[in-house]
Amino acid sequence: MPTVVLMDVSLSMTRPVSLDGIEEFQRKNLAVHGLNMLFEHMASNYRLEFTSLMAFSSLWELLVPFTRDYNALQEALSNLEDYDKTCVEAALNGVSNVVQQEWGSACPCQLQMTDAMDNLEELLRLSGGDGQIFTMEGPLCMKSVQTMFGKLIDLVYSPFHAVLHCGNLSSDVQVFPRPEPVVMDEEVEPMPRTVSTDLEIVGFIEIADIASPPVISRHLVLPIAVNKDVDEVGTGTTDELEEEPSASQMAGKSPNFCVLLHGSLKVEGMVALVQLGPEWYGMLYSQADSKKKSNLMMSLFDPGPEPLPWLGKISHLGPISEAADNPYGEDDSKSPFPVQPQVKRSYAQNVTVWIKASGLQTDVQKILRNARKLPDKTQTFYKELNRLRKAALAFGFWELLKGVADLLERECTMLPDSAHPDAAFQLSHAAQQLKLASTGDSQYAAFDHNIVPMHTDFSS
């Protein structure tokens, strides 16, 4: 999640902060000090974060566009100038522009500002409630600034480390950006769900079967050195001095499960289903950055036992080898997915809706069309007839049953001489049955009863 630092450079920020007469700082200096602390932290622990620096007074200015170059950000901080008055509305518009240009509208963004204002809470509420205001506790001094930024760092910029497990194989990983907690139902489950630091692969599935599923967030999964005491970045000096290789260098040389997993997923065209916590799943997959480079990524599904309806409950999935018959067929010609729902959706069954007159007319015409092709279309004729009969009974539309019976009788009288004798028998039989149903007599008007073709003996 990219970060925008929006720095107030109005005159109010130049107000002095008296520190028992020892030294004098401006508010601006405190802010710069805190931001430097933040940038230093990010440079060493959260390097992948893109950050941009904007300054505002009554106007706004983009000082540093989104970058991972924290030196550039610090450099810009040291060259701040003072301007007139605070005007946050214009600045927020500016943020909106900058963010949309770089990231599009679908990207959540962290926003940092460094001036005290009364209406910040209202602003937070308007923006959808996802945010937090950090204020300084105690007097305005370097120490409280450090405490405040320390809190911010812990809450938002501490790297997320986890162990990725697959049976007996495992790897220490960093998940970037850190997965944020998710509130499922503010009432039943008000506590946010957090991603476990033990990520367990539960199985593998074809990309075609998981079919570009909806996800709540996407993250890079990066293997990390196990020995966290050693500087993970590994500076050049250690090499020159020919000291013991750093942990990350060692890690680079020993086989790592992440590498195996990434390569395998890429080659096989599959994703790994990973359990993130109780009844919470995600997927690991290879995502191509460019033609040459690809990354191991993890996407989080909505928490719940059945995040993707077409897979059914994740806990009901199992290894192919344990199925009685290979669900993909011996020749890989079929797939068990999508899982069919127990009750078919209305559009997957032949439902009857007569809200529009055309719906009713179509259904009646279908019966008449088949009636004229009796006895060839006997099966279709009765199928359509029974469908209409069922709906008419459910809707209490007995008048329609009588009407259609009349129509069938009329068809009977209009049969050409060349017609098969069976046609007349079937038409009058069907008409009679509809009439009986329209009386509501339980013997003939039962919903599950079907009118069956009259048994005739014209077999020739």
Partner 1 sequence: MKMFSVAHKTVFVVDHCPYMAESSRQQVECDVLTKSRAQGVIPLAPVSKSLWTCAVECSMEYCRILYDIYPKDKLVNYIVSDSEFHILNSWRREDQSTHELMSALAAVGPPNPREDPECCSILHGLVAAVESLCKITELQHEKRIALMDTAERVANRGRIICLTNAKSDTHVRMLEDCIQETIIEQNKLAAGSDRLMAIQQCELVLVHIYPQGEDTLVSDRPKKEISPLLTSEVHSVRAGRHLATKLNILVQQHFDLASTTITNIPMKEEQHANTSANYDVELLHHRDAHLEFFKSGDLHMAGTSTRENGLKETVTLKWCTPRTNSIELHYCTGAYRISPTDVNSRPSSCLTNFLLNGKLDSSQFLPAERAKAQLERHTRYWPMIISQTTIFNMQAVVPLANLIVKETLTDEDVLTCQKTVYNLVDMERKNDPLPISTVGSRGKGPKRDEQYRIMWNELETLVKTHAGATDRHQRVLDCIIACRSKPPEEEDRKKRGRKREEREDRTEKNGNKETDDKSWQDSERLKGLMDKDEQESEVIKDSPDSPEPLNKKPRLTSEEIQPPERSKGPVSLLTMWSNRITAVNSRKHQEFFGRASSVNNKFELYQHLKDENGMDVHENGKATR
Work out how close the CB of 191 gets to partner 1 at its nearest, in angstroms, rounded to a whole number.
Answer: 10
- In terms of CB distance, is 21 or 255 closer to partner 1? 255
Residues between 303 and 332 with contacts to partner 1, criterion CB under 8 A: 308-309, 312, 314-319, 321-325, 327
Residues between 191 and 210 with contacts to partner 1, criterion CB under 8 A: 200-203, 207-208, 210
Place of tokens 């550039």: 72
Tell me which residue of 396, 326, 411 sits closest to 364, measured CA to CA: 411
334 is a contact residue toward partner 1 (CB under 8 A) = yes
- In terms of CB distance, is 33 or 372 closer to partner 1? 372
Whether 74 contacts 7, CB under 8 Å: no
Token couple for 141: 């001094």
Residues between 391 and 410 with contacts to partner 1, criterion CB under 8 A: 391, 393-400, 403-404, 406-407, 410
Token couple for 421: 């004798």
373 is a contact residue toward partner 1 (CB under 8 A) = no
- In terms of CB distance, is 33 or 218 closer to partner 1? 218
293 is a contact residue toward partner 1 (CB under 8 A) = no
Site string for partner 1, 100-119 (x = CB under 8 A): x---xxx-------------
Residues between 20 and 79 with contacts to partner 1, criterion CB under 8 A: none
Tell me which residue of 256, 255, 233, 260 sits closest to 172, measured CA to CA: 256
Work out how close the CB of 447 gets to partner 1 at its nearest, in angstroms, rounded to a whole number.
Answer: 4
Contact region with partner 1 (CB under 8 A), list: 8-16, 119-127, 211-219, 415-423: 211-219
Q: What is the DSSP letter of 189?
A: B
Among 126, 188, 241, 267, binds partner 1 (CB under 8 A): 188
Query: Quick one: how far is CA 417 from the chain centroid?
Result: 66
340 is a contact residue toward partner 1 (CB under 8 A) = yes
Work out how close the CB of 430 gets to partner 1 at its nearest, in angstroms, rounded to a whole number.
Answer: 16
Place of tokens 């599950």: 448
341 is a contact residue toward partner 1 (CB under 8 A) = yes
Q: How many residues bind partner 1 (CB under 8 A)?
A: 102
Note the helical H segments in 46-177: 70-78, 88-103, 120-126, 142-156
Cα dihedral across residues 432, 437, 443, 448: positive or negative: positive
Distance separating alpha carbons of residues 179 and 182, to the nearest angstrom: 9
Among 357, 416, 455, 460, binds partner 1 (CB under 8 A): 357
453 is a contact residue toward partner 1 (CB under 8 A) = no
Distance separating alpha carbons of residues 73 and 81, to the nearest angstrom: 15
Work out how close the CB of 264 gets to partner 1 at its nearest, in angstroms, rounded to a whole number.
Answer: 11
Token couple for 142: 């370097």
Work out how close the CB of 286 gets to partner 1 at its nearest, in angstroms, rounded to a whole number.
Answer: 9
Among 16, 131, 181, 338, binds partner 1 (CB under 8 A): 338
Residues between 243 and 262 with contacts to partner 1, criterion CB under 8 A: 253-257, 259-260
- Torsion angle in degrees (nearest 10) through CA of 92, 98, 104, 109: -60
431 is a contact residue toward partner 1 (CB under 8 A) = no
Contact region with partner 1 (CB under 8 A), list: 36-44, 75-83, 111-119, 165-173: 165-173
Tell me which residue of 133, 120, 60, 122 sits closest to 92, measured CA to CA: 60
Among 79, 119, 132, 212, binds partner 1 (CB under 8 A): 212
Work out how close the CB of 339 gets to partner 1 at its nearest, in angstroms, rounded to a whole number.
Answer: 7
Among 48, 90, 446, 452, binds partner 1 (CB under 8 A): 446
Residues between 261 and 280 with contacts to partner 1, criterion CB under 8 A: 269, 271
Distance separating alpha carbons of residues 437 and 429, to the nearest angstrom: 12
138 is a contact residue toward partner 1 (CB under 8 A) = no
Token couple for 345: 């959706």
Give 15-82 as a DSSP string: -EEEETTTEEEEHHHHHHHHHHHHHHHHHHH-TT--EEEEEESSSEEEEEEEES-HHHHHHHHHT---
SS3 305: coil
Work out how close the CB of 323 gets to partner 1 at its nearest, in angstroms, rounded to a whole number.
Answer: 7
Distance separating alpha carbons of residues 194 and 175, to the nearest angstrom: 13
121 is a contact residue toward partner 1 (CB under 8 A) = no
- In terms of CB distance, is 113 or 367 closer to partner 1? 367
Token couple for 261: 């997993």
Exposed/middle/buried for 386, CB within 10 Å: 0-12, 13-18, 19+? middle
Contact region with partner 1 (CB under 8 A), list: 34-42, 65-73, 112-120, 446-454: 446-454
Which amino acid makes up residue 362? T
Work out how close the CB of 80 gets to partner 1 at its nearest, in angstroms, rounded to a whole number.
Answer: 32
183 is a contact residue toward partner 1 (CB under 8 A) = no
Place of tokens 């020159």: 240
Work out how close the CB of 45 gets to partner 1 at its nearest, in angstroms, rounded to a whole number.
Answer: 27
